[in-house]
A and B are shown apart, each in its own frame.
Chain A
């Protein structure tokens, strides 16, 4: 049972297409996995559509009759499939270290953007998902018994659990859970008996805050890029 969801504001941003690409992917992946938010998304779509499609009386620049006729003519003469998107290879499986994971549809449709796995530190692996030129998006894999040093963020960190379970000081997160943390939160993500695959985006580098892991700060770019 998924218990952490994106805010309504984020879902509206998702439906309107007004989030960053990285954030659209994280929210979209949550929606893939969450029947509750799928219903929300459908409702928001109806509401936004009503707003867009109902306020015609205030339109200042109406299509002229000539423009409309010309456009209709072009549409009737257009060939189906001219702007057909190229069919990409869709791969809904990803493997690491002999383990196979099923990717939710949003990631599967974008599987061609997923880069190679890189081993970061002891229990952590990362594969970039290259969809956003400005904001990094990564698949992050924590094997059993992993612990990321306590850190905070300059910006926001959004995470969705794809498979497995991890916990921090606040809670425990499982398949489909969506977690949004900002600069006010310090946390120490860790796994125990189970491993965990997540999709995460950071909009500014992490800052390690505790003890010896402060020494890691120069390496925080490991997590960022």
Chain B
């Protein structure tokens, strides 16, 4: 039918990448003009109400604009990603309209817009205890001075200034030890991967 480029899946995906990396408004407008009418048709069929349909289009495309960095080309097409966002918003709209008692949200059923959902999805996530234990092992490998600072900040929850006062050392030293320790921990964790 039309020669509109977003019909090609690769092009639509590249527009999303362009939006994510460069906040490119022209790329978004192109994507919008392609998908918004389709979303509108979908929403009108679902709700039978023009205004609610327009709200769904706007909310879906607003998410596309702000969350384009969460699109993963290897998981599916741009059209599919946008559809699943619309599906979630439809679900939340329907529950809100019925004033449901429980605050079940679509994002907790289908976490497509979670900033990080890999942790739970792979092997149902790490056991927290196990993680803490592993981190403790890594900390043991730090020089004593760095280890002390890390424990005071991340285990006891002290501020960097409080640590400086407690150890009677300059704040700048606390900062540099923290930075070096975190850097070292990162290396240790990556070398184990």
Contact = CB atoms under 8 A, between A and B. Distances in A.
Do these two chains really belong together in a complex?
Answer: yes
Contacts, number: 142
A36 interface: no
Nearest to B63: A83
Given A103-B124, A104-B124, A46 B76 contact: yes
B1 to A, nearest CB: 7
A68 B62 CA distance: 13
A56 B65 contact: no
A88 B108 contact: yes
Interface residues of B, number: 56
B57 A49 contact: no
B126 to A, nearest CB: 9
Contacts of B28: 72, 75-76
Given A55-B38, A63-B40, A110 B104 contact: yes
Chain A, interface size category, equals: 35 or more
A129 B114 CA distance: 22
Nearest to A76: B25
Interface in A44-79: 45-46, 48-50, 52-59, 61-63, 67-68, 71-72, 74-76, 78
Nearest to B113: A85
Contacts of A59: 37-38, 40-41
15 contacts: A32-B124, A45-B76, A46-B77, A49-B80, A52-B41, A53-B38, A61-B44, A61-B50, A63-B36, A63-B37, A74-B58, A80-B66, A88-B108, A105-B111, A113-B104
Given A49-B83, A76-B65, 5 more contacts: A21-B102, A61-B44, A90-B120, A102-B124, A105-B125
